[in-house]
Structure 1
Amino acid sequence: MKDKNKIIKINLSILIAFIFLFAVPSSTFAYQEVQYIDAIVLLEPGIDLEIPGVEYKYRWDAINGFAGRMSYTTYNRLEQSRFVKSIEIDSKSIALAEDILDWGVDDIDAERIWGGEEDALDIGSGNTAGEGINVMIADSGIDYNHVDLNDNYVWGYDWYDQDNDPMDEYGHGTFVAGIIAAEDNELGVIGVAPKASLYAARVSAGGTETGVLSALLDAIYWATFPNERTVGQGEPRMDVISMSIALNDYSSALETMCQLAYNNGIVLIAAVGNKHPSQFKEIGYPAKYSSVIAVGAIDSNHIYQTFSRYGPELDFVAPGVNIYSTKPNDAYGYDTGTSFATPLVSGLAVMILSEDPSLSPADVKNIIQSNAISLGSPVPNQYYGYGLVNTFTAFDDILDIVDNTDPIVDITSPSPGLVHDTIIIRASATDNRIVTKVQSKIEPGGVWTDDTAEPYEWTLDTTQYANGVELTITVKAWDAQNNYDIDQITVTVLNGGGGGGCPILSVYDGAEYIEEGLLDIHNPDGIDVVTIHTLVTTPEAVNHRYLLRLTEYYTTISHIDKVQLYGLLPDGTLVPLHLISAFHSTLGQVRWTLWFNDDNRVKVLGADHNEGNSEFIDLEFVSSADLNFIELIFIIEGHNRLIK
């Protein structure tokens, strides 16, 4: 009985301890964005308790364990508790708990360095991930207890209130910290440099409070000479200072302090600042100083954002729209602004120094600059600076990697042949490392037009060209080492007002007729032309029957002698399909005329020659058996003259 009573007392004290550990003041609930995880927990022998906030799924009394859903905060605290024998993520919920790769981190290709491949979610063995580099975040502080930041957090100070607690009550600094160095822990999100050492300098409570300048000055001074202060003695000098801060007024003291840090080997990076159309638009301070790298914001299409300040001092741009990162109280969320483009560049600087700590601030900037993806013209320019930063190409420079492999580019649309009205030119491009841009040019008379993000597309208005004109469409893909590849096609313009034209083929897919495009049988001398077309749309086969339609282009008149449809079998055999009906919208059944190649032709009028209605022929083909065709090939013979 004595031992049993002792166990009961211990369990009661443990229960009280857990209630205290997991209790959260009710006033904070409204501010939390809680994310959950499924976990499996084994408690130490003799521990019997109910954990607040856990949604129990299974209980296993014999092994003193359970499975349940809990918040990331609860998971993290249980992981550190001496009462817990083991805790692990439920294997069925790994997808819910693994790190999220934010599109901004992905866009600058950071994961290709620390993860070793595109879209990696974990640090690869031996890969550079920011280790050994100290980055100070001068902001509203950091939630240093956050489950995705606590292992990387080292030290901090509140210069704003002049105390030893830089806890972030506003959220801005915590968001910045996550972009730079959110951990690889299968929770939440992962940063640009997920093994960097984080230092918090709380220089503002958030917003535009007075006193932020003096706090920022002393924080930069401490970062440069940490042992000259009573606080933070013994901490190392900082390698990078990230400042998502923009002051409107010039400060001689701030410029002097930034230059001092720069001269002592610290890389300084700052946001150019946000603006509204009627507000201050010039780049803010300290970004405007020559000792500081100035960062603006772009969206996922690599387009300058109007909220981003601009000017000749702008150095680089990075993603700054709908960025996903850490928020206080183990939460996560999205935010937009130059404040969140800046830490992407800060994280890149950390990665570069982690690979080669001997580099000076000028070296780091030169590496980023020489490997940025150019946006806009000239380079640099006031909206994009030297362009979009890229971690992968920067590491090529550091590691002196020589890449002689050309990218591969293909024009996927349009196909060679006739074009009309407005078309979209589309291209695909791949490279063994990275495609930096794809260009297109229309000749005669065209100039190169750049596209730096997938999908690679350009609009061509063919109505600006005379009918019958041949256009050469050229696309060229480039990589970071200036290797390139070219693809080229020729098309012929066919629009109204006297241009050449041909019948339009459509295919019935079971619900509607899908237009395949113009079939080129144009010949001004009235000589028959044979055109072969492989169907893009798969027609719906009903009782082995296939429905197609020929509709005359609105400006022209076609004279069709014969039509055929063949099915291609997997072994390469071509099987002819039988034409069982050819119904002309005006003339009625014309099957026999189109069946034979006998110079008896069916005339089909365009709308301009038929009171506004283009004539068409509905074709019906049938196969003799249920055959597995891998392609269907349509052949038309006839001619079409220019009609003015």
Structure 2
Amino acid sequence: MDYARFLNFIQEKTGAVASKKQRTIIRFARPAAYQECLRQLNRMKRSFPQMRLIRSSSLLQAFICPFSLADLPQSCRKGLILEQDAQVSVHAVPASGMVTTPEIPWGVRHIQAPDVWSSSTGYQVRIAVIDTGADFSHPDLRHSLARGVNLLNPNMLPHDDNGHGTHITGTIAGAGSMQGILGVAPRATIYPVKAFDHNGAAYVSDIILGIDWCVRNQVDIINMSFGMKSKNKSLFNVVNKALQAGVVVVASAGNDNKSRSVDYPARYPQTISVGATDRSRKIARFSNSGPHVDIYAPGEKIYSSWIGGRHKEMNGTSMATSHVSGSIALLLALRPDLTPTEIKQLLRKSARPVLSARKRSARGGISPSEVNALRLIKRGAP
């Protein structure tokens, strides 16, 4: 491969960038080629500051360019895999306006998390929430948040300008005062990974860089409450690498009321895919379901933290996913040796059957079932 010509072409394109709406993910077939090209790129960044727009993922061994490379010469394509970047959206919708919440929301009680807290509160379990960020000043979250990373503005903390990430974080690890809420694993540590903008939209490339950051920073769980309809090989590869690194990846199934399909990345077998239930332990009316869903959890009218120190009620498989991530944290605090595969098996074996005429088989022909933190700990704890 002609590295110099390839990088000179990228330099010219970078200088002409006017919009970030078109992006390209460039994967290198050979690790040595990626390392050599990265070395040359870093050297060029000192002379050509605009080249700093080119980001890299060591986990995926890829460059991410904020423009289309459809016109990249064939002579520069040898050993490269080019994929157009795609947009991703969060999996939640408002259920109502701002509300006054109870200390322990119904979903947290429903999965019997409080019955586990005498044994485990998720202490020292590291959970990355790839989302819109978090409200660092929220009373519920002050003791739950680590610094995390802002992929949209690396010089800033991952502050939430949407609300979705704060809501997810509160359900997983809220540890508020009497006026606040308690999450499923109130002593777990949340690492907000801001990949989504104020509209709840992101690019696949930002998700890839987020997962890359999570693996490098040795998190235990990645919560991914978002999805897209189309396959993406780069996303698949990086999720697979996270699994190989021993990270548990929990992903929401989507809110399209589909019975045989779920969104990506939840559809990848390397994830724990989560559908939503209501208070009656029935599959929620909006939730995707069927053979690609591993487990269900409360996702309808879920009370949790919101930006500005407030609280809000939301619907979505996003909300269900946060209950599952919190439950896994309770288990990992007691059994840090468990692998992602073992955790998925324990979740299924300890779950309670879904009560619904809308029952559809989960992965592997297993009947749909709902997470139960108490049963999970009893089955999985030493």
2:275 is the counterpart of 1:314: no
Kept in 1: contact 2:260–2:292 (CA 8 A): no
Deviations 1:260-296 (A, max 9, x none): 111111100010011268xx97201110111100000
Which of residues 172, 188, 201 is equivalent to 1:196? 188
Deviations 1:328-384 (A, max 9, x none): 111012111111011000001111101111111111111111101122667537999
Pair 1:276–1:349, CA change in 2 (3 A) = closer
Cα shift at 1:187: 3.2
Cα shift at 1:184: 5.1
2:209 is the counterpart of 1:218: yes
Alignment correspondent of 1:398:
380
Deviations 1:377-432 (A, max 9, x none): 675379995400101111111236xxxxxxxxxxxxxxxxxxxxxxxxxxxxxxxx
* Amino acid in structure 2 at the alignment position of 1:155: R
Matches within 5 A, 1:51-200: 100-114=103-117, 124=118, 127-183=119-175, 185-200=177-192
Alignment correspondent of 1:637:
none
Q: Distance in 1 between matches of 2:161 and 2:257?
A: 26
Alignment correspondent of 2:25:
none
* Amino acid in structure 2 at the alignment position of 1:396: K
* Amino acid in structure 1 at the alignment position of 2:223: S
Q: Secondary structure at the match of 1:329?
A: helix
Matches within 5 A, 1:230-249: 237-249=218-230
In structure 1, stretches of 5+ residues that fail to align are 1-31, 36-95, 115-123, 227-236, 401-644
Deviations 1:202-254 (A, max 9, x none): 11114463x5211110110111113xxxxxxxxxx100000101111111111
Q: Which has the larger radius of gyration?
A: 1
Q: Secondary structure at the match of 2:137?
A: coil
Deviations 1:145-198 (A, max 9, x none): 111101111112111334332100100000000000000533311000000001
Alignment correspondent of 2:244:
263
Alignment correspondent of 2:275:
296
Alignment correspondent of 1:252:
233
Q: Secondary structure at the match of 2:353?
A: coil
Q: Distance in 2 between matches of 1:254 and 1:206?
A: 22
Alignment correspondent of 1:350:
329
Cα shift at 1:303: 1.5
* Amino acid in structure 2 at the alignment position of 1:334: E
Q: Secondary structure at the match of 2:226?
A: coil
Q: Distance in 1 between matches of 2:132 and 2:224?
A: 10
Kept in 2: contact 1:310–1:383 (CA 8 A): no
Q: Distance in 2 between matches of 1:281 and 1:397?
A: 30
Kept in 2: contact 1:179–1:192 (CA 8 A): yes
Q: Which has the higher contact order (CA 8 A, sep 6+)?
A: 2
Kept in 1: contact 2:228–2:263 (CA 8 A): yes
Q: Distance in 2 between matches of 1:396 and 1:105?
A: 17
Q: Distance in 1 between matches of 2:368 and 2:98?
A: 37
Kept in 2: contact 1:157–1:163 (CA 8 A): no
Runs of 4+ in structure 1 deviating by more than 3 angstroms, as ranges, are: 32-35, 206-209, 376-386
Cα shift at 1:311: 3.1
Q: Distance in 1 between matches of 2:364 and 2:280?
A: 18
2:370 is the counterpart of 1:388: yes
Matches within 5 A, 1:467-546: none
Q: How large is the RMSD of aligned CA atoms in angstroms?
A: 2.4
Structure with greater proportional helix content: 2
Which is worse superposed, 217-226 or 380-389? 380-389
Pair 1:267–1:207, CA change in 2 (3 A) = same
State the number of aligned residues.
283
Kept in 1: contact 2:273–2:294 (CA 8 A): yes
Structure with greater proportional strand content: 1
Q: Secondary structure at the match of 2:303?
A: strand
Q: Secondary structure at the match of 1:282?
A: coil
Task: Provide the TM-score with structure 2 as the length reference.
Answer: 0.69
Kept in 2: contact 1:315–1:385 (CA 8 A): no
Give the % identical residues.
29
Q: Distance in 2 between matches of 1:381 and 1:240?
A: 21
Q: Distance in 2 between matches of 1:381 and 1:258?
A: 18
Deviations 1:472-501 (A, max 9, x none): xxxxxxxxxxxxxxxxxxxxxxxxxxxxxx
Pair 1:269–1:186, CA change in 2 (3 A) = same
Q: Distance in 1 between matches of 2:120 and 2:373?
A: 11
* Amino acid in structure 2 at the alignment position of 1:362: T
Which of residues 353, 362, 366 is equivalent to 1:374? 353
Kept in 2: contact 1:308–1:338 (CA 8 A): yes
* Amino acid in structure 2 at the alignment position of 1:347: G
Q: Secondary structure at the match of 1:269?
A: strand
